[in-house]
Amino acid sequence: MFGYVITNPNALPKERQQRFRAVYCGLCAALRRRHGLAGSATLSYDMTFLALLLNALYEPGEQTGRERCPAHPISAHAYAVSPVMEYVADMNVALAYHKCMDNWLDDRNPLSAGEGALLRQAYRSVAREWPDKCAAIEAWLDEVHDIESRNLPEVDLPVNATGRMLGELFVYPRERAWNDELRVIGDGLGRFIYIMDAYDDLSKDIRKGRYNPLKALRDRPDFEALCKSAMTMMIADATEAFERLPVVLDADILRNVLYSGVWSKYVYLQNKRNARGKGAD
C-alpha cells in the first residue's frame, strides 16, 4: 500500500521535475539526520508530496544547496530542506515501520520482520514525540485487521478507516491554520490509495486467497466504471480542499500530483489490459 501519490513527469517541465527531486532529496536528508540510514531507506514519494504541501502552505523558510550522500556518492545533487520535513520524516518512518509489521503479520515475510526490527528504535522515538499521530496509525491498523479477520465485504469500512488515518497525519501539529482543509486532502488521498491498492492487487489477492473488499464486486458488469467513479470522487474531495488553500509555491507540482500523477498506475493497468486484449485478438 502507498506509492501512488507521485508526479506525472510527462506533464511536468524538466526544471519542475528537478524541484520535486530536490524536495525528495531534502526529505531523505531529514530522514537520515533524524533516523540514520535505516530511516532514509523508507523514503517515499507520498510523504514528499506532504512535505511539498506543508512547505508551500506555511512557508517556514527553506535551505537549498548541493551535496553528495550515501545514495549518490559520486556527483552532488540539489536538495531543499525546511523545518516541516522533520515532522514529515517522522511520519514517513512511522508508516514504514507499521507497513513492515503489517507485511510480517500478513505473509510471515522474514525480510519485512528484519526491516521492522531496524526501524523499531526510530519508531519508538517518533511515538514519544508524536503520540497522537502514532496512535492514529495503530488504531487504523487494528481496525483494518479486524475487518480483514472477519472478512467483511463492505468496501467503505477499510476505505474510510484509511482516510481518517491519513487525514490525521496531514494535519501539521505545529500550526493551526488550514487544519480542516489538510484533513480533507489527507482523507481523500487515503481513501483513494486504499481503493487503488485493492484494485491493483485484486488478481493477486484472489490467487493467494487474501482479503480484498473488491472481490465481492468484481463480477458486476459495471465493476470497472464503479471503481473509477469511486476513485474520481475521492480525489475530487482532495483537490477541492487543496484549491481552497492559499498555495503559490510549488502549486503546479502539487496540482500535477493531484490531477494527473495519482492516476499513473491506473492508466498503466488499463493500458496493460488493453494490450493483452489486442494480443488475444
For the chain, helix, strand, coil in percent to 5 are 75, 5, 20
Return d(Cα 171, Cα 191) in angstroms, integer: 16
170 in a structural domain: yes
More confident of the two residues 187 and 276: 187
Least confident of 93-107, 157-171, 172-186: 93-107
Range of the domain at 156: 131-243
Name which of 98, 123, 111 is nearest 36 in CA terms: 123
Return d(Cα 208, Cα 83) in angstroms, integer: 43
91 in a structural domain: no
Render pLDDT for 43-76 as a digit per residue (tens, 0 to 9). 999 999 999 999 999 999 999 999 888 777 778 8
> Three-state DSSP class for 76?
strand
> How many domains, the chain?
1
| φ and ψ of 144, to 5 deg | -65, -40
Q: What is the average per-residue pLDDT within 201-229?
A: 95
CB-based contact 13:65 (threshold 8 Å): no
104 in a structural domain: no
162 in a structural domain: yes
What is the reported pLDDT for 131?
A: 98
What one-letter code names the amino acid at 217?
L
Q: What is the average per-residue pLDDT within 90-97?
A: 97
208 in a structural domain: yes
Residue found by looking up cell 510527462 in the block: 10
Residue 281: is its pLDDT beyond 50? no
27 in a structural domain: no
What is the reported pLDDT for 173?
A: 97
Residue 87: is its pLDDT beyond 50? yes
Q: What is the average per-residue pLDDT within 168-194?
A: 97
Banded model confidence at residue 278, pLDDT cuts 50, 70, 90? low
Q: Which helix (H) or strand (E) holds 278?
A: helix 264-280
175 in a structural domain: yes
70 in a structural domain: no
Among positive and negative, which fits the CA dihedral 213, 218, 219, 222?
positive
Question: Quick one: residue 250, left, alpha or beta (phi over 0 = left, psi -120 to 50 = alpha)?
Answer: left
Q: Which helix (H) or strand (E) holds 263?
A: none
Q: How far is CA 251 from CA 4, 20, 232, 265, in A?
A: 19, 11, 20, 22
